[in-house]
A and B are shown apart, each in its own frame.
Chain A
Amino acid sequence: DTAVSQTPKYLVTQMGNDKSIKCEQNLGHDTMYWYKQDSKKFLKIMFSYNNKELIINETVPNRFSPKSPDKAHLNLHINSLELGDSAVYFCASSATSLPATGELFFGEGSRLTVL
């Protein structure tokens, strides 16, 4: 069974559209994350979320919004897509809200291409 799964794996869309990427983890973790990896392979945190707190990286445009229907899911919604949003988006989870106690488990990534 896949620990952290993301769908879709590939997403091609036009500028201005709204899209969502779904993420589910079956590890029983209570904290989930979204990271963006750009064309230079730099991995940058966007959000971290547990059942108590959402922490938003201040550089993330408000067109991006995480939505968590329950502890095992953290979806990423993107409104009014721009060319610069093209990247690979990774979902991750950890056992606690303090990663010092353990590692992050990553999904396989969702490659978003905005035309």
Chain B
Amino acid sequence: SQKIEQNSEALNIQEGKTATLTCNYTNYSPAYLQWYRQDPGRGPVFLLLIRENEKEKRKERLKVTFDTTLKQSLFHITASQPADSATYLCALDSGGANNLFFGTGTRLTVIP
């Protein structure tokens, strides 16, 4: 069956450290992968998109890697801040279809 799993339901880190979130998928052949941020009571907000032929993408303090051999994406937040506390969702396509499928999410808490 198809699965998109994110490493842990919750992750706590100290302010200033780098947070690393993992997204693993099985039985998908995505052309791209996206990361979203969701705050309580709000809709998800797009952060980054990385395509299958890209190894790494950066945006300010965010970095995403995509390894289609390992079927894994890593999402890094450097110099983390309490304001980065939120749930982070990875999402990918099913290969040729026009729908986006989401992972289980990781709730990140950055402790001051």
Contact = CB atoms under 8 A, between A and B. Distances in A.
Secondary structure dominating the interface of B: strand
Contacts, number: 66
A105 B34 CA distance: 13
B99 A41 contact: no
Size bin of chain B's contact surface? 20 to 34
Interface of B: 31-32, 34, 36, 38, 41-46, 49, 51, 87, 89, 91, 93, 97-102, 104-105
30 contacts: A31-B98, A35-B102, A40-B104, A41-B104, A41-B105, A42-B102, A42-B104, A42-B105, A43-B44, A43-B89, A43-B105, A45-B99, A45-B102, A48-B98, A55-B97, A55-B99, A97-B98, A100-B31, A100-B51, A103-B34, A103-B46, A103-B49, A104-B36, A104-B46, A105-B46, A107-B43, A108-B41, A108-B42, A108-B43, A109-B42
